[in-house]
Amino acid sequence: MSQYIVLSRVKVQNANCIAGFTWGFPAITHFLGFTHALHRKISDEYDVVLGGCAVVSHEYQLHVYKPSQKANFEFIQSKNPPVLAKHKKSSPPIIEEGKMNLTTSIIIEVSKELVANSEIIKAFKQAVLNHCLKSRLAGGTILSIGNVDLVSGSTEQQLESLNRKIKRLTMPGFVLQDRSDYLKTHFNQLKEQAPSVELLTAWLDFSAKKYQAQPEIEDKNNTPAHDIKAEWLLLPKPQAKGWIVPIMTGYKAISECYSAGEVTDTRDDNSLTCFVEAVHSIGEWKSMHRVLDVSEIIWRYQHESDWYLCVQNSNKSNKAEETIIETETMNFESALANL
């Protein structure tokens, strides 16, 4: 049996839009943290277990501006004084703030399903709504939630109906999917050309804008001079198709775990402390109507040794999309070459 909680049209104000080296949308760790916090609150009242979640973006507004037409975007920031007593005695942390307003839908996986009658389900949805409105999402304030739905399915026909209903509740919108396989493939191609290449170089090919000079010469066999005119062309991304974006997908420990209270100026003096660095990968914003199976867009925690990652099980969706591309082009080898 599959069961999901669908939070439709969640309006958030002043959410954090900086995620590691990237900015523009909250990291997926924010949404999984929100799901975990909701689980801890709702499990005290109902015998359910919440698992991962999927993120669908509808609207967003970044708090940025351009000083001039050719300048880079800059964040509109507020300078707030330190509020913690421990920070008033010392220098407050200097962290760049990037805020945004967004409207998103969150599809939360219910790992241990709720089995109840209509009255209990109605009370359950109201309890979820009350807890969510009192919570924060990506550091932002939740202003409103369009609707809270609990959808279930066990048979094949019911699961098809479940997928259609979730699509109706979250369209129009774009769902974030993991595309780390694109990064792996591109990195292997670069290593064939230069064995000493680093993974960061492959990631920058997806995330950075790169230009190449095209000399204006009639005979391409001649070597262009230094003072010859050239046209600067924008190089395409390694993956030409899709709305590909760099994303932050977790953390990597870079230190040992320190006992509670051993590290000064931490937010929590009762928990262990470990220093980490952000882990980055590649994602794709895909229109919700193209999702074939909701279970394949769910992000889940994966913890192993020093790695703390957010992953998806999207192998079935990728294979299904390849089948669709093969049907449309009638040439599977050409379709793979264009990826």
pLDDT digits (tens, 9 = 90+) for 23-38: 999 999 999 999 999 9
pLDDT(5) > 90: yes
Count CB neighbours of 30 within 10 A.
21
Instruction: Report how far residue 128's alpha carbon sits from residue 148's, in angstroms, rounded to the nearest whole number.
Output: 8
Pair (150, 17) in one structural domain: yes
Total domains in the fold of the chain = 2
Nearest to 103 by CA among 67, 56, 161: 56
Comparison of pLDDT for 157 and 215, the residue scoring more: 157
Range of the domain at 299: 181-213+227-284+292-337
- 45 found inside a domain: yes
Cβ atoms of 76 and 63 closer than 8 Å: yes
- 218 found inside a domain: no
- 81 found inside a domain: yes
pLDDT digits (tens, 9 = 90+) for 76-134: 876 666 566 655 555 555 666 889 999 999 999 998 888 778 888 999 999 999 999 99
Comparison of pLDDT for 324 and 130, the residue scoring more: 130
Q: Is 267 exposed, middle or buried (0-12, 13-18, 19+ CB in 10 A)?
A: exposed
Q: Residue 238: which pLDDT band, with cuts at 50, 70 and 90?
A: confident
- 221 found inside a domain: no
Residue 316 structure tokens: 């079935």
Pair (153, 240) in one structural domain: no
pLDDT(274) > 80: yes
pLDDT digits (tens, 9 = 90+) for 202-216: 999 898 888 888 877
Residue type for position 225 = A
105 membership: H or E segment, kind and range: strand 99-112
Pair (206, 328) in one structural domain: yes
Pair (115, 199) in one structural domain: no
Residue 166 phi, psi (nearest 5): -65, -35
- 219 found inside a domain: no
pTM, full prediction:
0.82
Count CB neighbours of 12 within 10 A.
22
Strands 49-62, 276-287: pairing is unpaired
Pair (88, 207) in one structural domain: no
Pair (195, 306) in one structural domain: yes
Pair (239, 191) in one structural domain: yes
Instruction: Report how far residue 306's alpha carbon sits from residue 308's, in angstroms, rounded to the nearest whole number.
Output: 7
- Beta carbons within 8 Å of 95's beta carbon, 6+ residues apart: none
Count CB neighbours of 146 within 10 A.
15
Instruction: Report how far residue 249's alpha carbon sits from residue 256's, in angstroms, rounded to the nearest whole number.
Output: 21
Pair (118, 136) in one structural domain: yes
Pair (133, 204) in one structural domain: no
Average pLDDT across the chain, whole number: 84
- 220 found inside a domain: no
- 116 found inside a domain: yes
Pair (204, 116) in one structural domain: no
Residue showing tokens 């993991």: 178
Nearest to 215 by CA among 223, 207, 206: 223
Could you give the residue ranges of the DSSP H alpha helices within the chain? 28-42, 85-89, 118-133, 156-170, 180-193, 199-207, 315-329, 332-337
Comparison of pLDDT for 321 and 251, the residue scoring more: 251
Pair (198, 79) in one structural domain: no
pLDDT(265) > 80: no
